[in-house]
Amino acid sequence: MPRMGVMSVNDAPVRAVQIKVSVKPEVAAAFKSACAVNEVSMAATLSDFMSQYSGTVKQKGGYTPNLSTRRQRRATVQAIIHQLERVKDNEEIYRDNIPENLQSSIAFETAEQCLATLEEALDLLASAY
């Protein structure tokens, strides 16, 4: 369940939401590691994913629904698959560049676990449409 809070930015209240990535610490750690390796913000990645997952697209006027047809839903799933494949490719590059003497380290194991999770997610999404 997301936790809500109120922050202040330039003396204006801003509502913040804390989202638990996974109940499994290893999945959350793999996600955090993948974001760090790819030099992307975890919040931005989750926001983009949630926007696409919930069927909205951010436009100038706010968020508008875009999943009214099966074709649009399939296109959205394909876009998510493409993004996950990019993350997976970058994670593979990171793992492959870990020196041999560190291949039994936590960083290597986390990269391996992240790749396995990403491959599982890709398989599930591919079978959905």
Residue 98 in any domain: the answer is yes
- How wide is the angle at C-alpha 78 spanned by C-alphas 74 and 82, nearest 5°? 170
Query: Into how many domains does the chain fold?
Result: 1
Residue 19 in any domain: the answer is no
Digit-by-digit pLDDT tens for the chain (129 residues) are: 444 444 444 555 545 445 555 557 777 777 777 777 777 777 777 777 766 666 555 555 555 556 778 888 888 888 889 999 999 999 999 999 999 999 889 989 999 999 999 999 999 888 877
- Residue 23 identity (one-letter amino acid): V
pLDDT at 12: 52
pLDDT at 59: 54
Residue 17 in any domain: the answer is no
Residue 2 in any domain: the answer is no
Rg for the chain (alpha carbons), in Å? 17
Distances (CA, A) of 94 to 43, 89, 99, 112: 21, 9, 10, 10
Structural domain containing residue 102: 24-128
Indicate the burial class of 65 (C-beta count within 10 angstroms; 0-12, 13-18, 19 or more): exposed
Residue 1 in any domain: the answer is no
Residues forming beta bridges with residue 124, ordered by sequence position: none
Residue 14 in any domain: the answer is no
CA distance 129 to 117: 19
